[in-house]
Chain A
């Protein structure tokens, strides 16, 4: 995709200008209305806290980020594996899908509390399990659709070539499911990060970004809490950007066909 400099500027400029204007307005509001730090700290003091606590934030980000990453990978692998199994056996699909939906409707925090009781208090496993579950569901739903929703013409063609079920899966269903997998990952990557943070609110080691946000708010260090929130945003953004980059690398011919479909 070769965009002209002008088109690129038109693409990038509006959100940047909006972002700066938003921060300026926030800063001005804090000063004009004299908000107290416990109510809403100014962006400048958040930034200052962010720089002062950079090492601590980085350490906490590594803990939460690792949990999110481990869960994301485990959930993706599990989700893909399960969607193949479900795609193969229709009956199993009808049994498992409602269960998976029901499981996803449970507020995740309940499950973290349950997992926390299963493992030792300093274990990271409950959090990773939680992320795995959330990611697995997103991947399962999307990849199953990708394996299923193959054009009728393409299936007739494959039958006319006397293709076996295995060949149809390898040459049609799997490639068809690839864009669905990346759509799932773009949703699952930020969700993994959020789940990792939120999971920390329910006890266990106080070493991740989520628990640091809670503990800083508890002692009224709001600007510091916001600095950790900023760290959390950056981790989430990094996960999202990596999933977008992976999609570009893995899609033959670029993502043009997805753009065309409006996907």
Chain B
């Protein structure tokens, strides 16, 4: 079985060859196995969102190679091998909640009945079964984000790419959504690449935390996290949890001092 994501010696330069060229990423190497939950964390401008977009083939690397499910990223995108969620839910106002979830299936050419059934399944999964025929603007921010996650998972993609999906939510909703995401990933056995700048969020969710530094963006540390498969409220108060937070914080602090030097 091939790795879920393989990133080999990838560099990304924006505006290459021009005076305003920016080295966004340098020599990125990362392999993610199926079932892993990997967070990319780092200060603004470290290229973590760029890395995610390279995996999604929304950007092309300047050099190096990106493989998803063992195939080139472009092929994986055309095959819709991944689902994606962003900081903004990005729902379509003119579609009902269920129709929003159906959109990726529509584009895959599924028939109407099959689409509807899957959409309702997904809404049950994100606990919004009663809101299928509501419109997005009738939902709270947290609920909208859950719809977006349901939509990302609708086609049962093996890989889920998330770009600060809970960044715009308040702390309470955020913790609730994190627990929900872990439950959903457990039920669907998805592989997740998750961009965040919250240390507790990265530690709580991940099996591995990838620490990145800016100018140019590169990976400085990879920290394994093993808080067990059943994480709950107690996990957030466990000693092991705080130790990992400290470890990631120190890894990030290392970046800051080297930057100042």
Contact = CB atoms under 8 A, between A and B. Distances in A.
A157 B84 contact: yes
A90 B6 CA distance: 38
A171 B135 CA distance: 16
Nearest to B83: A160
B93 interface: yes
B90 A151 contact: yes
Interface string A126-160: 00000000000000000000000001011011011
Contact of A171 (B79, B84, B93, B103): B103
Contacts of A121: none
B107 A256 contact: no
Interface in A9-60: none
Contacts of B88: 151, 153
B12 to A, nearest CB: 16
Interface in A221-263: 251-253, 256-257, 260
A176 B103 CA distance: 15
A253 B96 contact: yes
| Chain A interface helix/strand/loop/mixed | helix
A162 interface: yes
Nearest to B134: A253
A163 B84 CA distance: 14
B77 interface: yes
A156 B94 contact: no
B93 A156 contact: no
A153 B136 CA distance: 15
A30 to B, nearest CB: 50
Interface residues of B, number: 25
A156 B135 contact: no
A251 B103 CA distance: 19
Contacts of B86: 153, 156-157
Contact of A156 (B58, B103, B107, B108): B58
Interface in B109-156: 135, 137-138
B107 A163 contact: yes
A91 B10 CA distance: 35
Nearest to A157: B90
Contacts of A251: 94
Contacts of B135: 252-253, 256-257
Contacts of B103: 161, 171
B78 interface: yes
A253 B103 CA distance: 18
A256 to B, nearest CB: 6
B106 interface: yes
Instruction: Give the 5 A-B residue pairs with the shortest CB-CB distance, closest first.
Output: A153-B90, A253-B135, A175-B94, A162-B78, A160-B84
Interface of B: 56, 58, 77-80, 82-84, 86, 88, 90, 92-96, 103-104, 106-108, 135, 137-138
